Chains A and B, each alone.
Chain A
Protein backbone atom coordinates (compact mmCIF):
# COMPACT_ATOMS: atom_id res chain seq x y z
CA UNK A 1 0.00 0.00 0.00
CA UNK A 2 1.56 3.35 -1.02
CA UNK A 3 1.95 6.02 1.63
CA UNK A 4 -0.51 8.89 1.33
CA UNK A 5 1.17 10.95 4.02
CA UNK A 6 4.74 10.55 5.15
CA UNK A 7 5.95 12.40 8.24
CA UNK A 8 9.72 12.65 8.53
CA UNK A 9 11.69 13.72 11.63
CA UNK A 10 9.01 16.10 12.77
CA UNK A 11 9.66 18.38 15.73
CA UNK A 12 6.95 20.75 16.88
CA UNK A 13 7.34 23.68 19.27
CA UNK A 14 4.73 25.84 20.96
CA UNK A 15 6.96 28.79 21.82
CA UNK A 16 9.81 27.28 23.83
CA UNK A 17 7.93 24.14 24.71
CA UNK A 18 8.59 21.17 22.45
CA UNK A 19 5.47 19.08 21.84
CA UNK A 20 6.74 16.51 19.32
CA UNK A 21 10.19 14.92 19.16
CA UNK A 22 11.57 13.43 15.94
CA UNK A 23 8.34 11.80 14.86
CA UNK A 24 8.53 9.71 11.67
CA UNK A 25 5.40 7.90 10.59
CA UNK A 26 3.83 6.80 7.31
CA UNK A 27 0.08 6.77 6.64
CA UNK A 28 -0.96 4.16 4.03
CA UNK A 29 -3.54 5.19 1.48
CA UNK A 30 -7.15 4.03 2.01
CA UNK A 31 -6.44 2.86 5.51
CA UNK A 32 -7.37 4.22 8.89
CA UNK A 33 -4.51 5.07 11.19
CA UNK A 34 -5.29 5.56 14.87
CA UNK A 35 -3.13 7.89 16.96
CA UNK A 36 -3.27 6.84 20.59
CA UNK A 37 -1.76 7.77 23.91
CA UNK A 38 -2.40 9.55 27.19
CA UNK A 39 -3.51 13.20 27.27
CA UNK A 40 -0.80 15.64 26.30
CA UNK A 41 1.22 13.01 24.43
CA UNK A 42 1.20 15.01 21.20
CA UNK A 43 -1.25 12.96 19.15
CA UNK A 44 -3.59 15.89 18.47
CA UNK A 45 -0.62 18.14 17.76
CA UNK A 46 0.58 15.70 15.11
CA UNK A 47 -2.89 15.52 13.59
CA UNK A 48 -3.03 19.30 13.32
CA UNK A 49 0.34 19.32 11.54
CA UNK A 50 -1.18 17.30 8.72
CA UNK A 51 -3.48 20.10 7.55
CA UNK A 52 -1.37 22.89 9.04
CA UNK A 53 -4.15 23.94 11.37
CA UNK A 54 -1.41 24.59 13.93
CA UNK A 55 -0.54 27.62 11.82
CA UNK A 56 -3.48 29.47 13.37
CA UNK A 57 -1.87 29.33 16.81
CA UNK A 58 0.75 32.05 17.35
CA UNK A 59 4.38 31.06 18.08
CA UNK A 60 4.19 27.59 16.58
CA UNK A 61 7.09 26.37 14.56
CA UNK A 62 8.09 23.02 13.21
CA UNK A 63 11.17 21.25 11.89
CA UNK A 64 11.10 18.25 9.63
CA UNK A 65 8.91 17.29 6.73
CA UNK A 66 5.32 16.26 6.11
CA UNK A 67 4.86 14.80 2.64
CA UNK A 68 1.42 14.52 1.07
CA UNK A 69 1.71 12.49 -2.14
CA UNK A 70 5.47 13.08 -1.91
CA UNK A 71 5.04 16.84 -1.79
CA UNK A 72 6.19 18.78 1.28
CA UNK A 73 3.19 20.59 2.73
CA UNK A 74 5.48 22.93 4.66
CA UNK A 75 7.26 24.08 1.50
CA UNK A 76 7.11 27.90 1.26
CA UNK A 77 5.41 27.75 -2.14
CA UNK A 78 2.53 25.66 -0.85
CA UNK A 79 -0.96 27.20 -0.64
CA UNK A 80 -2.37 26.34 2.81
CA UNK A 81 -5.95 27.01 1.76
CA UNK A 82 -5.54 24.61 -1.16
CA UNK A 83 -3.94 22.02 1.14
CA UNK A 84 -6.96 22.04 3.43
CA UNK A 85 -9.24 21.15 0.54
CA UNK A 86 -7.21 17.94 0.17
CA UNK A 87 -7.00 17.24 3.88
CA UNK A 88 -10.35 17.65 5.63
CA UNK A 89 -10.96 17.62 9.36
CA UNK A 90 -13.61 16.53 11.84
CA UNK A 91 -13.33 17.90 15.36
CA UNK A 92 -13.75 16.64 18.88
CA UNK A 93 -16.95 18.49 19.56
CA UNK A 94 -19.44 18.73 16.69
CA UNK A 95 -19.06 22.27 15.35
CA UNK A 96 -21.84 22.92 12.84
CA UNK A 97 -21.98 26.49 11.55
CA UNK A 98 -24.97 28.57 12.66
CA UNK A 99 -26.62 27.94 9.30
CA UNK A 100 -29.13 25.43 7.99
CA UNK A 101 -28.27 21.76 7.51
CA UNK A 102 -28.14 22.36 3.76
CA UNK A 103 -25.88 25.40 4.04
CA UNK A 104 -23.46 23.56 6.31
CA UNK A 105 -22.79 20.95 3.64
CA UNK A 106 -22.87 23.56 0.88
CA UNK A 107 -20.32 25.76 2.68
CA UNK A 108 -17.18 24.10 1.27
CA UNK A 109 -18.51 23.66 -2.28
CA UNK A 110 -19.61 27.30 -2.21
CA UNK A 111 -16.28 28.81 -1.16
CA UNK A 112 -14.42 26.62 -3.65
CA UNK A 113 -17.08 26.94 -6.38
CA UNK A 114 -17.33 23.20 -6.98
CA UNK A 115 -20.66 23.39 -8.86
CA UNK A 116 -22.21 25.04 -11.89
CA UNK A 117 -25.78 25.61 -10.81
CA UNK A 118 -28.27 25.12 -7.99
CA UNK A 119 -29.26 21.65 -9.20
CA UNK A 120 -25.68 20.48 -9.04
CA UNK A 121 -25.26 21.95 -5.56
CA UNK A 122 -28.44 20.16 -4.45
CA UNK A 123 -26.92 16.94 -5.75
CA UNK A 124 -23.65 17.52 -3.92
CA UNK A 125 -25.50 18.18 -0.67
CA UNK A 126 -27.68 15.10 -1.06
CA UNK A 127 -24.80 12.84 -2.05
CA UNK A 128 -22.63 13.83 0.88
CA UNK A 129 -25.41 13.70 3.43
CA UNK A 130 -26.17 10.21 2.10
CA UNK A 131 -22.52 9.17 2.38
CA UNK A 132 -22.51 10.38 5.96
CA UNK A 133 -25.63 8.28 6.61
CA UNK A 134 -27.69 11.32 7.47
CA UNK A 135 -29.83 11.91 4.37
CA UNK A 136 -32.86 9.89 5.42
CA UNK A 137 -32.97 11.58 8.80
CA UNK A 138 -32.76 15.16 7.54
CA UNK A 139 -34.11 15.19 3.98
CA UNK A 140 -37.39 16.76 5.12
CA UNK A 141 -35.78 19.54 7.14
CA UNK A 142 -32.72 20.56 5.15
CA UNK A 143 -33.39 24.23 5.80
CA UNK A 144 -33.70 24.01 9.54
CA UNK A 145 -30.81 25.19 11.75
CA UNK A 146 -28.11 22.53 12.07
CA UNK A 147 -27.81 23.31 15.76
CA UNK A 148 -31.18 21.62 16.36
CA UNK A 149 -29.81 18.19 15.41
CA UNK A 150 -28.68 15.77 18.10
CA UNK A 151 -24.97 15.53 18.92
CA UNK A 152 -24.48 12.38 16.88
CA UNK A 153 -26.34 13.83 13.91
CA UNK A 154 -24.31 17.02 14.19
CA UNK A 155 -21.09 15.03 14.06
CA UNK A 156 -22.23 13.13 10.98
CA UNK A 157 -23.22 16.47 9.46
CA UNK A 158 -19.68 17.70 10.12
CA UNK A 159 -18.37 14.60 8.36
CA UNK A 160 -20.70 15.30 5.40
CA UNK A 161 -19.45 18.90 5.38
CA UNK A 162 -15.82 17.73 5.39
CA UNK A 163 -16.21 15.22 2.55
CA UNK A 164 -18.27 17.63 0.41
CA UNK A 165 -15.06 19.37 -0.72
CA UNK A 166 -13.72 16.02 -2.04
CA UNK A 167 -10.70 15.69 0.20
CA UNK A 168 -8.32 12.74 -0.06
CA UNK A 169 -7.50 12.59 3.62
CA UNK A 170 -9.83 13.04 6.59
CA UNK A 171 -8.39 13.90 9.98
CA UNK A 172 -10.55 13.12 12.99
CA UNK A 173 -9.76 14.50 16.42
CA UNK A 174 -11.53 12.24 18.93
CA UNK A 175 -14.72 12.48 16.86
CA UNK A 176 -16.82 10.41 19.26
CA UNK A 177 -15.71 11.77 22.61
CA UNK A 178 -18.82 13.95 22.94
CA UNK A 179 -21.25 11.26 21.73
CA UNK A 180 -23.26 8.55 23.46
CA UNK A 181 -22.52 4.86 22.70
CA UNK A 182 -25.21 4.50 20.02
CA UNK A 183 -24.15 7.63 18.15
CA UNK A 184 -20.54 6.49 18.54
CA UNK A 185 -21.33 3.14 16.92
CA UNK A 186 -22.91 4.90 13.94
CA UNK A 187 -19.93 7.19 13.46
CA UNK A 188 -17.53 4.24 13.74
CA UNK A 189 -19.47 2.32 11.07
CA UNK A 190 -19.29 5.40 8.92
CA UNK A 191 -15.52 5.69 9.39
CA UNK A 192 -15.17 2.12 8.21
CA UNK A 193 -17.24 2.84 5.08
CA UNK A 194 -15.33 6.03 4.31
CA UNK A 195 -12.05 4.11 4.21
CA UNK A 196 -12.92 2.96 0.68
CA UNK A 197 -12.52 6.48 -0.65
CA UNK A 198 -10.41 8.32 1.88
CA UNK A 199 -7.26 7.95 3.90
CA UNK A 200 -8.27 8.48 7.51
CA UNK A 201 -6.26 9.54 10.54
CA UNK A 202 -8.12 9.36 13.83
CA UNK A 203 -7.02 10.49 17.27
CA UNK A 204 -8.69 8.49 20.00
CA UNK A 205 -8.47 7.81 23.69
CA UNK A 206 -10.59 4.77 23.36
CA UNK A 207 -8.66 1.52 22.89
CA UNK A 208 -11.66 -0.45 21.66
CA UNK A 209 -12.38 2.25 19.14
CA UNK A 210 -8.84 2.14 17.81
CA UNK A 211 -9.11 -1.62 17.56
CA UNK A 212 -12.48 -1.45 15.79
CA UNK A 213 -11.83 1.21 13.17
CA UNK A 214 -8.13 1.25 12.41
CA UNK A 215 -5.74 -0.90 10.44
CA UNK A 216 -2.64 0.81 11.76
CA UNK A 217 -2.10 2.20 15.24
CA UNK A 218 0.60 4.54 16.50
CA UNK A 219 1.21 4.96 20.21
CA UNK A 220 2.54 8.25 21.56
CA UNK A 221 3.97 9.18 24.91
CA UNK A 222 5.25 12.65 26.02
CA UNK A 223 5.72 13.83 22.47
CA UNK A 224 7.55 10.71 21.30
CA UNK A 225 6.25 8.07 18.92
CA UNK A 226 6.73 4.97 21.00
CA UNK A 227 5.71 2.42 18.42
CA UNK A 228 3.49 1.97 15.39
CA UNK A 229 2.27 -1.04 13.51
CA UNK A 230 -0.61 -3.13 12.33
CA UNK A 231 -3.42 -2.61 14.85
CA UNK A 232 -3.97 -6.28 15.70
CA UNK A 233 -0.30 -6.88 16.30
CA UNK A 234 0.18 -3.76 18.36
CA UNK A 235 -2.67 -4.69 20.64
CA UNK A 236 -1.69 -8.33 21.11
CA UNK A 237 2.08 -8.03 21.15
CA UNK A 238 3.18 -4.50 22.05
CA UNK A 239 6.96 -4.15 21.81
CA UNK A 240 7.33 -1.36 24.34
CA UNK A 241 6.39 -1.63 27.99
CA UNK A 242 4.78 1.86 27.92
CA UNK A 243 2.41 0.68 25.20
CA UNK A 244 1.69 -2.45 27.13
CA UNK A 245 1.06 -0.43 30.27
CA UNK A 246 -1.41 1.76 28.43
CA UNK A 247 -3.38 -0.96 26.67
CA UNK A 248 -3.60 -3.11 29.74
CA UNK A 249 -4.94 -0.13 31.67
CA UNK A 250 -2.08 0.34 34.11
CA UNK A 251 -2.09 4.07 33.35
CA UNK A 252 -3.43 6.64 30.96
Chain B
Protein backbone atom coordinates (compact mmCIF):
# COMPACT_ATOMS: atom_id res chain seq x y z
CA UNK B 1 0.00 0.00 0.00
CA UNK B 2 1.67 3.17 -1.20
CA UNK B 3 0.86 6.07 1.17
CA UNK B 4 -2.90 6.21 0.66
CA UNK B 5 -3.07 8.52 3.66
CA UNK B 6 -0.88 11.00 1.77
CA UNK B 7 -3.29 10.95 -1.15
CA UNK B 8 -6.10 11.64 1.28
CA UNK B 9 -4.14 14.44 2.92
CA UNK B 10 -3.43 16.10 -0.42
CA UNK B 11 -7.08 15.84 -1.31
CA UNK B 12 -8.15 17.56 1.95
CA UNK B 13 -5.50 20.21 1.46
CA UNK B 14 -6.89 21.19 -1.95
CA UNK B 15 -10.41 21.01 -0.59
CA UNK B 16 -9.42 23.50 2.11
CA UNK B 17 -7.92 25.82 -0.50
CA UNK B 18 -11.17 25.80 -2.45
CA UNK B 19 -13.20 26.15 0.73
CA UNK B 20 -11.23 29.17 1.95
CA UNK B 21 -12.09 31.13 -1.18
CA UNK B 22 -15.77 30.46 -0.64
CA UNK B 23 -15.63 31.15 3.11
CA UNK B 24 -13.81 34.46 2.62
CA UNK B 25 -16.34 35.58 0.03
CA UNK B 26 -19.22 34.70 2.31
CA UNK B 27 -17.42 36.47 5.17
CA UNK B 28 -17.13 39.66 3.15
CA UNK B 29 -20.80 39.56 2.24
CA UNK B 30 -21.80 38.94 5.87
CA UNK B 31 -19.68 41.81 7.19
CA UNK B 32 -21.07 44.09 4.47
CA UNK B 33 -24.56 43.00 5.41
CA UNK B 34 -23.84 43.65 9.11
CA UNK B 35 -22.73 47.23 8.54
CA UNK B 36 -25.64 47.74 6.17
CA UNK B 37 -28.09 46.62 8.84
CA UNK B 38 -26.49 49.02 11.31
CA UNK B 39 -27.04 51.79 8.78
CA UNK B 40 -30.67 50.88 8.24
CA UNK B 41 -31.16 50.91 12.01
CA UNK B 42 -30.49 54.66 11.85
CA UNK B 43 -31.93 55.60 8.47
CA UNK B 44 -35.14 54.12 7.10
CA UNK B 45 -34.60 51.83 4.11
CA UNK B 46 -37.54 53.45 2.34
CA UNK B 47 -36.03 56.95 2.72
CA UNK B 48 -32.70 55.59 1.51
CA UNK B 49 -33.94 53.76 -1.57
CA UNK B 50 -36.59 56.27 -2.64
CA UNK B 51 -35.45 59.62 -1.22
CA UNK B 52 -34.68 62.33 -3.74
CA UNK B 53 -32.11 64.35 -1.80
CA UNK B 54 -28.57 63.20 -1.19
CA UNK B 55 -26.62 65.53 1.11
CA UNK B 56 -24.87 63.57 3.87
CA UNK B 57 -21.69 65.67 3.63
CA UNK B 58 -23.41 68.83 4.76
CA UNK B 59 -25.38 67.23 7.55
CA UNK B 60 -24.59 67.95 11.15
CA UNK B 61 -23.60 64.73 12.94
CA UNK B 62 -26.58 62.86 14.27
CA UNK B 63 -28.94 64.10 11.57
CA UNK B 64 -30.46 61.28 9.52
CA UNK B 65 -32.24 63.01 6.68
CA UNK B 66 -30.59 63.68 3.36
CA UNK B 67 -29.82 60.04 2.63
CA UNK B 68 -32.07 59.71 -0.42
CA UNK B 69 -29.99 57.69 -2.86
CA UNK B 70 -32.16 58.16 -5.96
CA UNK B 71 -29.88 60.88 -7.44
CA UNK B 72 -26.94 58.48 -7.12
CA UNK B 73 -28.88 55.68 -8.80
CA UNK B 74 -29.95 57.94 -11.66
CA UNK B 75 -26.41 59.30 -11.97
CA UNK B 76 -24.99 55.78 -12.14
CA UNK B 77 -27.71 54.79 -14.61
CA UNK B 78 -27.04 57.81 -16.83
CA UNK B 79 -23.28 57.31 -16.99
CA UNK B 80 -23.68 53.56 -17.46
CA UNK B 81 -26.22 54.13 -20.23
CA UNK B 82 -23.83 56.43 -22.10
CA UNK B 83 -20.99 53.95 -21.58
CA UNK B 84 -23.07 51.05 -22.91
CA UNK B 85 -24.29 53.15 -25.83
CA UNK B 86 -20.62 53.34 -26.85
CA UNK B 87 -19.49 49.85 -25.85
CA UNK B 88 -22.43 47.79 -27.09
CA UNK B 89 -22.51 48.73 -30.78
CA UNK B 90 -18.76 49.32 -31.10
CA UNK B 91 -17.87 46.17 -29.17
CA UNK B 92 -20.20 44.01 -31.24
CA UNK B 93 -18.97 45.45 -34.51
CA UNK B 94 -15.31 45.07 -33.56
CA UNK B 95 -16.08 41.47 -32.61
CA UNK B 96 -17.85 40.81 -35.91
CA UNK B 97 -14.93 42.23 -37.84
CA UNK B 98 -12.34 40.22 -35.91
CA UNK B 99 -14.26 36.97 -35.94
CA UNK B 100 -15.75 37.02 -39.45
CA UNK B 101 -13.88 39.38 -41.74
CA UNK B 102 -10.35 39.94 -40.47
CA UNK B 103 -7.55 37.98 -42.08
CA UNK B 104 -5.16 35.99 -39.92
CA UNK B 105 -2.60 38.82 -40.00
CA UNK B 106 -5.15 41.45 -39.05
CA UNK B 107 -6.33 39.35 -36.12
CA UNK B 108 -2.74 38.98 -34.98
CA UNK B 109 -2.37 42.76 -34.94
CA UNK B 110 -5.75 43.74 -33.50
CA UNK B 111 -6.18 41.19 -30.73
CA UNK B 112 -2.99 42.06 -28.78
CA UNK B 113 -3.75 45.77 -29.17
CA UNK B 114 -7.22 45.30 -27.71
CA UNK B 115 -5.86 43.14 -24.92
CA UNK B 116 -3.29 45.81 -24.07
CA UNK B 117 -6.04 48.40 -24.04
CA UNK B 118 -7.98 46.20 -21.62
CA UNK B 119 -4.97 46.15 -19.31
CA UNK B 120 -4.57 49.92 -18.98
CA UNK B 121 -5.35 51.05 -15.41
CA UNK B 122 -8.65 52.91 -15.29
CA UNK B 123 -6.81 55.79 -13.62
CA UNK B 124 -5.11 56.47 -16.95
CA UNK B 125 -8.49 56.60 -18.68
CA UNK B 126 -9.51 59.05 -15.95
CA UNK B 127 -6.55 61.32 -16.79
CA UNK B 128 -7.49 61.17 -20.44
CA UNK B 129 -11.06 62.15 -19.57
CA UNK B 130 -9.94 65.11 -17.47
CA UNK B 131 -7.14 66.46 -19.66
CA UNK B 132 -8.28 65.66 -23.18
CA UNK B 133 -11.86 64.55 -23.64
CA UNK B 134 -13.39 66.98 -21.10
CA UNK B 135 -11.94 70.15 -22.68
CA UNK B 136 -12.67 68.78 -26.16
CA UNK B 137 -16.32 68.21 -25.29
CA UNK B 138 -16.60 71.63 -23.65
CA UNK B 139 -15.12 73.39 -26.68
CA UNK B 140 -17.36 71.46 -29.05
CA UNK B 141 -20.40 72.32 -26.94
CA UNK B 142 -19.38 75.99 -26.85
CA UNK B 143 -19.08 76.00 -30.62
CA UNK B 144 -22.73 74.94 -30.83
CA UNK B 145 -23.68 77.40 -28.06
CA UNK B 146 -24.57 74.64 -25.64
CA UNK B 147 -23.69 74.65 -22.01
CA UNK B 148 -21.70 71.69 -20.86
CA UNK B 149 -19.94 71.51 -17.54
CA UNK B 150 -16.45 70.04 -17.60
CA UNK B 151 -17.38 67.25 -15.20
CA UNK B 152 -20.33 66.19 -17.31
CA UNK B 153 -21.99 62.79 -17.33
CA UNK B 154 -21.21 62.66 -21.04
CA UNK B 155 -17.48 62.92 -20.43
CA UNK B 156 -17.40 60.19 -17.78
CA UNK B 157 -19.78 57.96 -19.77
CA UNK B 158 -17.85 58.20 -23.03
CA UNK B 159 -14.55 57.39 -21.35
CA UNK B 160 -16.12 54.51 -19.49
CA UNK B 161 -17.51 53.21 -22.78
CA UNK B 162 -14.04 53.32 -24.32
CA UNK B 163 -12.62 51.57 -21.28
CA UNK B 164 -15.18 48.75 -21.52
CA UNK B 165 -14.91 48.43 -25.30
CA UNK B 166 -11.95 46.01 -25.39
CA UNK B 167 -13.50 43.87 -22.65
CA UNK B 168 -16.86 43.81 -24.41
CA UNK B 169 -15.42 43.13 -27.86
CA UNK B 170 -13.21 40.35 -26.57
CA UNK B 171 -16.18 38.64 -24.89
CA UNK B 172 -18.34 39.07 -28.00
CA UNK B 173 -15.57 37.78 -30.22
CA UNK B 174 -15.30 34.65 -28.09
CA UNK B 175 -19.07 34.24 -28.36
CA UNK B 176 -18.99 34.40 -32.16
CA UNK B 177 -15.81 32.41 -32.53
CA UNK B 178 -17.09 29.53 -30.42
CA UNK B 179 -20.08 28.94 -32.72
CA UNK B 180 -19.84 25.67 -34.63
CA UNK B 181 -18.23 26.04 -38.07
CA UNK B 182 -21.08 23.89 -39.38
CA UNK B 183 -23.50 26.76 -38.77
CA UNK B 184 -21.43 29.13 -40.88
CA UNK B 185 -21.00 26.54 -43.62
CA UNK B 186 -24.68 25.58 -43.53
CA UNK B 187 -25.66 29.14 -44.27
CA UNK B 188 -22.94 29.76 -46.86
CA UNK B 189 -23.85 26.43 -48.47
CA UNK B 190 -27.35 27.74 -49.08
CA UNK B 191 -25.94 30.65 -51.03
CA UNK B 192 -26.04 33.21 -48.23
CA UNK B 193 -23.44 35.98 -48.27
CA UNK B 194 -21.16 36.61 -45.29
CA UNK B 195 -23.29 39.49 -44.05
CA UNK B 196 -26.53 37.48 -44.33
CA UNK B 197 -24.87 34.65 -42.44
CA UNK B 198 -23.75 36.98 -39.67
CA UNK B 199 -27.05 38.82 -39.36
CA UNK B 200 -29.46 35.94 -39.71
CA UNK B 201 -27.62 32.95 -38.30
CA UNK B 202 -24.54 33.80 -36.27
CA UNK B 203 -25.83 36.74 -34.23
CA UNK B 204 -29.08 34.96 -33.27
CA UNK B 205 -27.13 31.81 -32.41
CA UNK B 206 -24.64 33.73 -30.30
CA UNK B 207 -27.33 35.89 -28.73
CA UNK B 208 -27.30 34.39 -25.22
CA UNK B 209 -23.51 34.71 -25.06
CA UNK B 210 -23.62 38.24 -26.47
CA UNK B 211 -26.22 39.06 -23.85
CA UNK B 212 -23.92 37.63 -21.19
CA UNK B 213 -21.08 39.78 -22.52
CA UNK B 214 -23.35 42.78 -22.34
CA UNK B 215 -24.41 42.06 -18.75
CA UNK B 216 -20.84 41.45 -17.59
CA UNK B 217 -19.77 44.74 -19.19
CA UNK B 218 -22.75 46.43 -17.61
CA UNK B 219 -21.82 45.28 -14.14
CA UNK B 220 -18.28 46.47 -14.75
CA UNK B 221 -19.58 49.87 -15.76
CA UNK B 222 -21.80 50.10 -12.68
CA UNK B 223 -18.95 49.13 -10.37
CA UNK B 224 -16.33 51.29 -12.08
CA UNK B 225 -14.94 53.85 -9.63
CA UNK B 226 -11.71 55.55 -10.67
CA UNK B 227 -12.95 57.05 -13.92
CA UNK B 228 -16.02 58.57 -12.34
CA UNK B 229 -14.12 59.81 -9.31
CA UNK B 230 -11.89 61.76 -11.70
CA UNK B 231 -14.23 62.62 -14.53
CA UNK B 232 -17.66 62.92 -12.94
CA UNK B 233 -18.60 65.35 -10.21
CA UNK B 234 -19.63 65.07 -6.60
CA UNK B 235 -22.87 66.98 -6.97
CA UNK B 236 -25.85 64.69 -6.52
CA UNK B 237 -28.05 66.25 -9.18
CA UNK B 238 -31.23 64.47 -10.07
CA UNK B 239 -31.07 64.84 -13.85
CA UNK B 240 -30.98 62.88 -17.06
CA UNK B 241 -29.21 65.63 -18.96
CA UNK B 242 -25.84 64.21 -20.04
CA UNK B 243 -24.36 67.73 -20.23
CA UNK B 244 -24.73 68.23 -16.50
CA UNK B 245 -22.63 66.90 -13.67
CA UNK B 246 -23.96 63.86 -11.88
CA UNK B 247 -22.46 61.62 -9.26
CA UNK B 248 -22.50 57.87 -8.90
CA UNK B 249 -22.87 55.31 -6.15
CA UNK B 250 -19.17 54.46 -6.32
CA UNK B 251 -18.03 58.10 -6.19
CA UNK B 252 -20.13 58.72 -3.09
CA UNK B 253 -18.78 55.63 -1.37
CA UNK B 254 -15.27 56.94 -1.93
CA UNK B 255 -16.10 60.42 -0.72
CA UNK B 256 -17.94 59.12 2.36
CA UNK B 257 -15.00 56.99 3.38
CA UNK B 258 -12.11 59.31 2.50
CA UNK B 259 -10.07 60.55 5.42
CA UNK B 260 -10.18 59.41 9.03
CA UNK B 261 -13.62 58.11 9.68
CA UNK B 262 -15.30 56.44 12.55
CA UNK B 263 -17.80 53.78 11.73
CA UNK B 264 -20.40 54.84 14.23
CA UNK B 265 -22.43 57.50 12.48
CA UNK B 266 -24.98 57.35 9.72
CA UNK B 267 -22.71 59.22 7.31
CA UNK B 268 -19.98 56.59 7.11
CA UNK B 269 -22.37 53.69 7.48
CA UNK B 270 -24.23 55.02 4.44
CA UNK B 271 -21.26 53.88 2.36
CA UNK B 272 -22.05 50.30 3.33
CA UNK B 273 -25.68 50.76 2.40
CA UNK B 274 -24.58 51.96 -1.03
CA UNK B 275 -22.00 49.21 -1.31
CA UNK B 276 -24.62 46.61 -0.55
CA UNK B 277 -26.97 47.93 -3.23
CA UNK B 278 -24.07 47.85 -5.69
CA UNK B 279 -23.20 44.32 -4.67
CA UNK B 280 -26.77 43.05 -5.09
CA UNK B 281 -27.07 44.74 -8.49
CA UNK B 282 -23.85 43.38 -9.98
CA UNK B 283 -24.48 39.98 -8.39
CA UNK B 284 -27.87 39.73 -10.09
CA UNK B 285 -26.42 40.87 -13.42
CA UNK B 286 -23.66 38.25 -13.24
CA UNK B 287 -26.20 35.57 -12.34
CA UNK B 288 -28.30 36.53 -15.35
CA UNK B 289 -25.21 36.36 -17.55
CA UNK B 290 -24.36 32.90 -16.22
CA UNK B 291 -27.91 31.72 -16.81
CA UNK B 292 -27.74 32.95 -20.41
CA UNK B 293 -24.56 31.03 -21.11
CA UNK B 294 -25.99 27.87 -19.54
CA UNK B 295 -29.07 28.08 -21.72
CA UNK B 296 -26.87 28.47 -24.76
CA UNK B 297 -24.82 25.42 -23.83
CA UNK B 298 -27.97 23.37 -23.56
CA UNK B 299 -28.76 24.12 -27.19
CA UNK B 300 -25.31 23.86 -28.74
CA UNK B 301 -23.35 21.84 -26.18
Task: Using CB atoms and an 8 Å cutoff, list the residues of chain A in contact with chain B.
Answer: 51, 53, 56, 58, 81-85, 88-89, 91-93, 95, 97-99, 107-108, 111-112, 145, 147, 158, 161-162, 165
Partner of A162, one of B104, B184, B190, B204: B190
The answer to whether A147 and B183 have CB atoms under 8 Å apart is no
B1 partner residues in chain A, CB cutoff 8 A = none
Give the docked Cα–Cα distance between A145 and B193 (Å).
24
Q: Which of B168-194 contact A (CB under 8 A)?
A: 180, 182-193
The smallest C-beta distance from A78 to any residue of chain B, in angstroms, reads: 13
The answer to whether B191 and A81 have CB atoms under 8 Å apart is yes
Task: Using CB atoms and an 8 Å cutoff, list the residues of chain B in contact with chain A.
Answer: 103-104, 180, 182-193, 196, 200-201, 204-205, 299-300
Partner of B191, one of A56, A112, A158: A112
A145 partner residues in chain B, CB cutoff 8 A = 299
The smallest C-beta distance from B281 to any residue of chain A, in angstroms, reads: 30
The answer to whether B103 and A58 have CB atoms under 8 Å apart is yes
A97 partner residues in chain B, CB cutoff 8 A = 183, 186-187, 200-201, 204-205
B185 partner residues in chain A, CB cutoff 8 A = 53, 56, 89, 91, 95
- The 17 sampled A-B contact pairs (Cβ below 8 Å) are A56-B184, A58-B104, A82-B191, A83-B191, A84-B189, A84-B191, A89-B185, A91-B186, A93-B180, A93-B182, A95-B180, A95-B182, A107-B200, A107-B201, A111-B190, A161-B186, A161-B190
**Nearest 9 pairs between A and B by C-beta?**
A95-B182, A89-B189, A84-B191, A85-B191, A95-B186, A98-B205, A108-B190, A81-B191, A97-B201
The smallest C-beta distance from B243 to any residue of chain A, in angstroms, reads: 42
The smallest C-beta distance from A150 to any residue of chain B, in angstroms, reads: 15
The smallest C-beta distance from B106 to any residue of chain A, in angstroms, reads: 12
The smallest C-beta distance from A238 to any residue of chain B, in angstroms, reads: 32
The answer to whether A56 and B299 have CB atoms under 8 Å apart is no
The answer to whether B182 and A81 have CB atoms under 8 Å apart is no
The answer to whether A95 and B183 have CB atoms under 8 Å apart is yes
The answer to whether A108 and B183 have CB atoms under 8 Å apart is no
The answer to whether B191 and A165 have CB atoms under 8 Å apart is yes
A147 with B200: in contact, given A58-B104, A158-B186, A165-B190 (CB under 8 Å)?
A: no
A82 partner residues in chain B, CB cutoff 8 A = 191
Partner of B189, one of A51, A111, A147: A51
User: In the complex, which residue of chain B has the Cβ closest to the Cβ of A84?
Assistant: B191
Give the docked Cα–Cα distance between A140 and B188 (Å).
29
User: In the complex, which residue of chain B has the Cβ closest to the Cβ of A92?
Assistant: B182
The answer to whether B196 and A147 have CB atoms under 8 Å apart is no
User: In the complex, which residue of chain B has the Cβ closest to the Cβ of A98?
Assistant: B205
The answer to whether A147 and B299 have CB atoms under 8 Å apart is yes
Give the docked Cα–Cα distance between A158 and B186 (Å).
9
Give the docked Cα–Cα distance between A92 and B185 (Å).
11
The answer to whether A111 and B196 have CB atoms under 8 Å apart is yes
User: In the complex, which residue of chain A has the Cβ closest to the Cβ of B207?
Assistant: A98
A95 partner residues in chain B, CB cutoff 8 A = 180, 182-183, 185-186
A88 partner residues in chain B, CB cutoff 8 A = 189-190
The answer to whether B200 and A53 have CB atoms under 8 Å apart is no
B204 partner residues in chain A, CB cutoff 8 A = 97-99
B300 partner residues in chain A, CB cutoff 8 A = 98, 147
The answer to whether A98 and B191 have CB atoms under 8 Å apart is no
Give the docked Cα–Cα distance between A81 and B204 (Å).
22
User: In the complex, which residue of chain B has the Cβ closest to the Cβ of A94?
Assistant: B182
A53 partner residues in chain B, CB cutoff 8 A = 185, 188-189
Give the docked Cα–Cα distance between A81 and B195 (Å).
12
Give the docked Cα–Cα distance between A163 and B170 (Å).
37
Give the docked Cα–Cα distance between A147 and B186 (Å).
14
Partner of A91, one of B104, B182, B193, B299: B182
B192 partner residues in chain A, CB cutoff 8 A = 81, 107, 111
User: In the complex, which residue of chain A has the Cβ closest to the Cβ of B181?
Assistant: A56
The smallest C-beta distance from A119 to any residue of chain B, in angstroms, reads: 22
A158 partner residues in chain B, CB cutoff 8 A = 186
User: In the complex, which residue of chain A has the Cβ closest to the Cβ of B201?
Assistant: A97
Give the docked Cα–Cα distance between A111 and B193 (Å).
9
Give the docked Cα–Cα distance between A177 and B300 (Å).
18
- Residue with the greatest number of chain A CB neighbours at <10 A, chosen from B104, B190, B299: B190
The smallest C-beta distance from B113 to any residue of chain A, in angstroms, reads: 21
Give the docked Cα–Cα distance between A202 and B119 (Å).
50
B180 partner residues in chain A, CB cutoff 8 A = 93, 95
User: In the complex, which residue of chain A has the Cβ closest to the Cβ of B180?
Assistant: A95
B196 partner residues in chain A, CB cutoff 8 A = 111
- Residue with the greatest number of chain A CB neighbours at <10 A, chosen from B104, B184, B192: B192
Give the docked Cα–Cα distance between A91 and B187 (Å).
11
User: In the complex, which residue of chain B has the Cβ closest to the Cβ of A58?
Assistant: B104
- Residue with the greatest number of chain B CB neighbours at <10 A, chosen from A95, A107, A161: A95
Give the docked Cα–Cα distance between A83 and B193 (Å).
12
The answer to whether B188 and A84 have CB atoms under 8 Å apart is yes
Give the docked Cα–Cα distance between A95 and B183 (Å).
6
